[in-house]
Structure 1
Amino acid sequence: MLMKKCNHQIGGFALTTVAWLLCCISTGLPQWQVWHYEDPVILKPTVALVGMWRACVFHTDSNSSNTRVCYQYKYGDSIPLYIRVNQHLLLVSSFLGLFGKITTIIALSNVRMERVQRNATCNPFRLSGILNIIASSFLYLPVLFNYIAIMLKWKVAFPPSFNFPFQPDTQKMGSAMALAIISAVFFLLSGTICLSSNLAIGKMPRSKI
């Protein structure tokens, strides 16, 4: 009887899984900001990608082919504060999403074994829903900070070895931001499903033996 009520909970677990994967992918991608500027050395239009953990620049060689060179951020590098904050927020959201997945698996296992504690304070479905909603909030903040940085054209003082300008001629949002937004929405939907399913199961009448 309980398993028949869990179709949408399984859908919530699928959303959590997709959201967590997209969160991890967007965290590692450098396409959070796309810069366009003229390189002062070669005097040619250049495209650079500014991410949360690395920055990449495309160089055009003599054969007119683009070569991508990436610079990893080191702990001692002087990078903007908002990028440092975003790094921690993305890590926290990925860990919360992982814990949300684990608690959803435990909740579905309890339902299958008919071990649902309807009046328990720490019901796995409730805990999973809360974790997913918090993960969505933590993931939304880096998107917001990055959007503000692009709109207000904040100057970025990268290490001199990067050969990046303080400010590009033009900049725009990259694909990593889109993935992060989708992930945040999926986390929110999954958390809502888990919380609503916890209430639905709690209202089910006890079966008589």
Structure 2
Amino acid sequence: MLMKKCNHQVGGFALTTVAWLLCCISTGLPQWQVWHYEDPVVLKPTVALVGMWRACVFHTDSNSSNTRVCYQYNYDDSIPLYIRVNQHLLLVSSFLGLFGKITTIIALSNVHMGRVRKNGTCNPFRLSGILNIIASSFLYFPILFNYIAIMLKWRVAFPPSFNFPFQPDTQKMGSAMALAIISAVFFLLSGTICLSSNLAIGKMPRSKI
């Protein structure tokens, strides 16, 4: 009887897994912001990618081929405060998503083994749902900060070795931000499913032996 009612929980686990993977991928990608500007050295249009952990720029060589050069942020680098804050928020969101995934596995294992407590205060489904919703909230803040930085065209003072301008001619959102948005939505959906599944299991009558 319980196993027939696990479809929603399995769906929540699948969403949690996809959300966590997308969160980790978006964290490492540099495509949070896409900059377009004219390089003052070579006087050519240049495309740069600004991420949470590194920034990359495309250089055109004599053969008209693009070469991507990336610069990793160091702890001592003077990068904007919102990027530093986003780094921590993304890491926290990734860890919360991982813990939510683990608790969902434990909850599904309990259902499979028949160890489901009615109205249990430590039901793993409830804990997993809460963790996923919190992970979604933590992930929304980097998305919001990055969106505001693009819309308001915040000036960015990268280290001189990067050879980046303070402000590009034009900038737009990148694919990493889109992945983060999808991840945040999936975390929220999976958390809602886990919480609703917990309530549904709590209302199920115990089998009489």
Q: Deviations over 1:144-187 (max 9, x none)?
A: 00000000000000000000000000000000000000000000
Structure 2 CA distance, aligned partners of 1:29 and 1:195? 31
Q: Deviations over 1:102-125 (max 9, x none)?
A: 000000000000001222212100
Corresponding residue SS for 2:35:
strand
Divergent runs of 4+, >6 A: none
Structure 2 CA distance, aligned partners of 1:118 and 1:157? 56
Corresponding residue SS for 2:6:
helix
Task: Give the TM-score normalised by structure 2.
Answer: 0.99
Q: Deviations over 1:73-129 (max 9, x none)?
A: 000000000000000000000000000000000000000000012222121000000
Would you say the 8 A contact 2:101–2:128 is kept in 1?
yes
2:25 aligned with 1:20: no
Corresponding residue SS for 1:20:
helix
Task: Give the TM-score normalised by structure 1.
Answer: 0.99
Structure 2 CA distance, aligned partners of 1:181 and 1:118? 35
Structure 2 CA distance, aligned partners of 1:172 and 1:64? 24
Structure 2 CA distance, aligned partners of 1:88 and 1:29? 15
Structure 2 CA distance, aligned partners of 1:12 and 1:176? 23
Structure 2 CA distance, aligned partners of 1:143 and 1:58? 24
Corresponding residue SS for 1:118:
coil
Corresponding residue SS for 2:130:
helix
Structure 1 CA distance, aligned partners of 2:205 and 2:159? 64
Structure 2: runs of 5+ lacking an equivalent: none
Would you say the 8 A contact 2:120–2:202 is kept in 1?
no
Would you say the 8 A contact 2:59–2:68 is kept in 1?
yes
Structure 1 CA distance, aligned partners of 2:64 and 2:49? 19
Would you say the 8 A contact 2:129–2:195 is kept in 1?
yes
Would you say the 8 A contact 2:3–2:111 is kept in 1?
yes
CA RMSD of aligned residues (A): 0.4
Structure 2 CA distance, aligned partners of 1:122 and 1:86? 31
Structure 1 CA distance, aligned partners of 2:62 and 2:174? 28
Identity %: 94
* Residue equivalent to 1:115: 115
Structure 2 CA distance, aligned partners of 1:204 and 1:124? 16
Structure 2 CA distance, aligned partners of 1:131 and 1:25? 19
Corresponding residue SS for 2:18:
helix
Return 114-123 or 160-169, whichever deviates more: 114-123
Would you say the 8 A contact 2:33–2:174 is kept in 1?
yes
Structure 1 CA distance, aligned partners of 2:37 and 2:47? 7
